[in-house]
Amino acid sequence: MIKVGIIGATGYAGGELVRILTGHKDAEIKWYGSRSYIDKKYADVYQNMFQIVDAVCMDDNMEELADQVDVIFTATPQGLCASLVNEEILSKTKIIDLSADFRLKDVNIYEEWYKIEHKAPQFIEEAVYGLCEVNREDIKEARLVANPGCYTTCSILTAYPLAKEGLIDMDTLIIDAKSGTSGAGRGAKLPNLYCEVNENIKAYGVATHRHTPEIEGQLGYAAGRQVTLNFTPHLVPMNRGILATEYAKLTKNVSWDDVKAVYDKYYKEEKFVRVLEKDVCPETKWVEGSNYVDIGFKIDPRTGRIIMMGAIDNLVKGAAGQAVQNMNLMFGLKESEGLELVPMFP
């Protein structure tokens, strides 16, 4: 039985980790860390866990926690994991960080986009980017995994095969993405109040969103060259879900079957990536509560472009589910253990 500690257990991603791991046959949560709710019963914070979780919330003492568990999930704001981790801790336990602290390989880019000093640059090179469908073998050997962001998971997986095969002109790639409000976290913020969000849709972080260099970096690895793209996120009045619509110029004339064959080359054996039938567009409601990524595409012969579409649940495949998928790989378990969650509808 894998002993698990969670720092940030009362945020939305942390709560989703608890929900998933409660049903994981090979894992047991030993530490529900939450600086905001120390000594408060976890089930008093999340009433859905009444008579399921009896534990109380603890602090974020990573050094003490490392002596008690096999893996630590840090579902915390940027900067916290980097400020806590050290070599002694990593010699005792594995860490899966759900923040952006170790996703970018250039510390200068991290500090430029996140506006904070990186406290542990010595571990950046070692950290493995935890996109399981791309870096599976490296994840298996890792002791520090950088769990990808929600927008990035959807955006990267949607375009990855075509970028890898050189089928799209990367200089023309534009990503338009929309997310439910849980992606902004559980903290009280004026722009996320019901009256601000309901009956509204708005772009934010235009040309400045922090996930941009992460998407550029990973698709750059796929394409074998530096990538610069436009990424525009939008907030929509729903709890969960991300839909990414991506546009790019094709580099050659191809049919739907040609493109489908490229997607199948990379994803046919992937449990959690579902490439949809012709003329079927992904919808967030068909992945809600699950670890699936639904991908569809449409070729526009009039413009010579392809429109790629992807949908995920931002809290599952975009955060906690992917983190558990990484844990399963790191400990040699069945990759889908605890994650065979049928999407919820309605």
Give the catalytic positions in this structure.
Answer: 150
Which pair of tokens denotes residue 170?
Answer: 């990367």
Establish how many alpha carbons lie within 13 A of residue 250's alpha carbon, considering only the half-sphere containing its beta carbon: 19
Gap between the Cα atoms of 212 and 208, Å rounded: 7
The torsion angles phi and psi of 113, rounded to 5 degrees, stand at: -85, -30
Q: How far is the CA of 287 from the CAs of 99, 105, 111, 215, 316, in angstroms?
A: 23, 31, 34, 22, 9
Reduce the DSSP state of residue 300 to 3 states and report it. strand
Gap between the Cα atoms of 285 and 163, Å rounded: 27
For residue 236, the tally of other CB atoms under 10 A from its CB is 17
Gap between the Cα atoms of 71 and 9, Å rounded: 14
Q: How far is the CA of 299 from the CAs of 60, 247, 265, 308, in angstroms?
A: 49, 10, 19, 9
For residue 283, the tally of other CB atoms under 10 A from its CB is 15
Gap between the Cα atoms of 301 and 68, Å rounded: 58
Helix, strand and coil percent figures for the chain, each rounded to 5: 35, 20, 40
**Residues 242, 319, 343, 189, Cα dihedral to 10°:** -60
Sequential DSSP letters for 167-183: -B-GGG-EEEEEE-GGG
Strand partners, 33: 7, 58
**DSSP classification of residue 41:** B
